[in-house]
A and B are shown apart, each in its own frame.
Chain A
Amino acid sequence: MPFTQGQIALLAKLISDVGVQAAASLGVPRKDISNGIATLQNLVNANISRIGAQSFAMVVDVTATGNGVLSFAQIKRHIHAGRPVISIDLNGRFVAANAGKLRVKDAGDRTASSHGFEILIMEGYSYYVLDGKVIDEIDLNEPGAVLALGPRWRYPISEFPQVLRVHMRERLAQERGVTYWKDRANRILRANPEKTEAIFHRDLLWWIRNYTTGVIRTYSEPEGFGQDKTDIVAVTLAGGHVVEVKWLGVNEHKTTYNRKRIDEGLIQVKQYLERDDDLVEGYLVVYDGRSSDEHKKNSHYDQAYQHPLCREPQILYLESEVPTEISARVVRSNKTTKTRKTRKKTR
Chain B
Amino acid sequence: MDPSVRSFLRMRDVVLASSAASRYQHALNRIQLQKFLYLVDAITFLFDIAPPREAHRTYKHGPFDAAIQNAVDCLTFRGLASVKGVSRQADGTTTAFYELTNAGKAWAKDLRIDVATATRWQATQLVAERAAHGLGWPRLRDLVYAEPTYVAARPNGWGQYLHPEDTRSTSTALLLRTVESLLPSRAGQPIHRDLLIDLYFDFLESAAESLRLQAPEVEIR
Q: Which of A22-38 contact B (CB under 8 A)?
A: 23-25, 27, 29-30
The minimal Cβ–Cβ distance linking B154 to chain A, given in whole angstroms, is 12
User: A3, B182: Cβ atoms under 8 Å?
Assistant: no
> CB of A303 within 8 A of chain B?
no
Contact A235 B151 (CB under 8 A): no
Given known A-B contacts A3-B148, A20-B199, A25 and B185 have beta carbons under 8 A apart: yes
Q: Is B191 located at the chain interface by the 8 A CB criterion? A: yes
Given contacts A10-B207, A29-B194, contact A115 B170 (CB under 8 A): no
Kindly list chain B residues whose C-beta atoms are within 8 Å of the C-beta of A7. 148, 151, 175, 203, 207
Which A residues between 272 and 309 are near B, CB-CB below 8 angstroms?
none
B163 shortest CB reach to chain A, Å: 14
Q: Is B110 an interface residue (CB 8 A)?
A: no
| Inter-subunit contact A11/B182 (CB<8 Å) | yes
Question: Please, what's the 1-or-0 string for A4-28, where 1 marks a CB less than 8 Å from any CB in chain B?
Answer: 1011001101110000110111010
Q: Is A130 an interface residue (CB 8 A)?
A: yes
Number of A-B residue pairs at CB separation under 8 A: 72
**Contact pick for B182, options A29, A30, A135, A217, CB 8 Å:** A217
Cα separation A68 to B170 with both chains bound (whole Å) = 49
- Interface on chain B toward A: helix, strand, loop, or mixed SS? helix
Decide if B151 touches A4 in the complex (CB within 8 Å): yes
A residues contacting the other copy or chain, number (CB 8 A): 28
Q: Which of B182, B186, B189, B207 contacts A216 (CB 8 A)?
A: B182
Take A3-B175, A21-B184, A133-B184 as given contacts and tell me if A10 and B189 are in contact as well, using a CB distance cutoff of 8 Å: no
Whole-angstrom CA separation of A13 from B203 in the bound complex: 9
Residues A27 and B203 in contact, CB atoms below 8 Å apart: no
**B195 lies within 8 A of A2 (CB):** no
Residue of B nearest to A12 (CB): B182
18 more A-B residue pairs beyond the given contacts A2-B152, A237-B178, with a C-beta to C-beta distance below 8 A: A3-B170, A4-B151, A6-B207, A7-B175, A7-B203, A10-B203, A11-B178, A11-B203, A14-B199, A14-B202, A15-B183, A23-B195, A24-B185, A25-B183, A27-B189, A29-B195, A130-B184, A131-B184
A-B residue pairs in contact (CB < 8 Å), sample of 9: A2-B148, A3-B175, A3-B178, A6-B207, A10-B203, A11-B175, A15-B179, A115-B186, A217-B182
